[in-house]
Chain A
Amino acid sequence: MPSKEAASDQPAKAELPVGPVLAACLVPGGGHFWLHRWGRGAILLASVGAMFVSGLLMQGRFFQLEPANIVETLGFLGDVCSGLLFVVAKLAGYQTLASASPIADYGTKFLLVAGLLNVLCVLDAYDIAVGNKD
């Protein structure tokens, strides 16, 4: 049976900082705002938001959830990572034009990468919340 001394040597179990992580998932830079990193949060919101809006202006398309098509499904997961930006665009009835163009293809990548960049924002907010970063 381990002694109390040995038990106290073990590192405390880290708690998941739910608030900052959830805020970061919903809004790019939201986790930074939650943690009072106002400047960095504003820069992240502006960058990811501008990338997402650029993708919409380029008439990029959102990937669809198709379990039989792994590429399409992974793209959909990337799009969803934009959080509320994705939800608002969907609820606003955003639809692409039927005609495809190279710029629309760029737009599709912009929308996808905006979601992936938001994943970086979430991880950064987590690191700040648990004390790994300032």
Chain B
Amino acid sequence: MFFSHLMATFLFALFTSVVFGVTSKHTDRERLLYGAWVFALFFLITFGAGWFMYILR
């Protein structure tokens, strides 16, 4: 099965943020918002760090 770097990043952010969201907060709304926030941070920071390292090389 083929996994690109972007796909791996997406899957990692998705699975991790779901678990963080479910185990961290007290209401379903808080869990959903926190999970979405963590997913966005994981994905965007990894994406940004990738471009940053590309520019540095």
Contacts and interface: CB of A to CB of B under 8 A. Distances in A.
Interface string A1-12: 000000000000
B15 interface: yes
A22 interface: no
Nearest to A103: B3
Contact of B19 (A57, A103, A117, A134): A117
A51 B11 contact: yes
The 5 closest A-B pairs by CB, nearest first: A124-B23, A51-B15, A47-B18, A106-B8, A117-B19
A50 B23 contact: no
Interface of B: 1, 3, 5, 8, 11-12, 14-16, 18-20, 22-23, 26
Contacts of B16: 51, 113, 117
Contacts, number: 55
B19 A102 contact: no
Nearest to B11: A54
A43 B20 CA distance: 11
A99 to B, nearest CB: 15
Contacts of B19: 44, 47-48, 117, 120-121
